[in-house]
Amino acid sequence: MRKLFNFFSSSAAPASPPVQVERTGDHSELQLALLAHLEHCYQLAEHALQQRFPRPEVGFRLRGRSAGTAHLQQNRLRFNPVLLQENPDSFIASVVPHEICHLLCHRLYGRVKPHGREWQTLMLELFQQTPSTTHSFSTASVTPTGVSYLCDCGELKLSIRRHNKVLRGQSHYACRRCGQRLQQARQG
């Protein structure tokens, strides 16, 4: 089980339990800014809805092209540290309320569509955000480029997923043009 520490540990107790953060070492200034905005968003929601909400566990280990994810049953939020670093202002302003609305929706309405009417209403009325299901950040730095394979035609790229299937012996791939079985290119 992950060790957690309380992010907000001042003498004045917040209205609800503080945000729980995965203990992964020191957090960057951007991560601390995100956590502060997350707390601000929860306070706005509590004031507007006249109801207290438990603070989620927050992690910064999300990889890939997703900016954030909400795990409803675990009351947990995960954020992509690379996309946060590359797009700090818009990430904090848009992704944090987006993911919080998923958790609030689950608490208020139970099982509903992830980006349904209830979620959209919370986005608009609580945070004055246009409900959007996807972000528009560049994902070039977090998109895998693939693994090089060779055939008689030249070099081809296989996705990481297909490459892993080859490594496990689950699949073999052939070139569509020449029909030759692909062989992994030698590294360096």
In angstroms, rounded to a whole number, what is the distance separating the alpha carbons of residues 93 and 167?
A: 41
DSSP 174: B
Nearest C-alpha neighbor of 87 from the set 141, 168, 158: 141
Residue keyed to tokens 């670093």: 85
Cα separation, 69 vs 36, whole angstroms: 18
Distance CA(42)–CA(56), nearest Å, equals 10
Q: Is 99 a catalytic residue?
A: yes
Q: What angle do CA 113, 66, 25 make, to 5 degrees?
A: 120
How far is residue 142's CA from residue 118's CA, in Å, rounded to a whole number?
A: 31
Q: Locate tokens 């008689």: which residue?
A: 152
Catalytic pick among 29, 39, 99, 118 = 99
Active site amino acids? 99
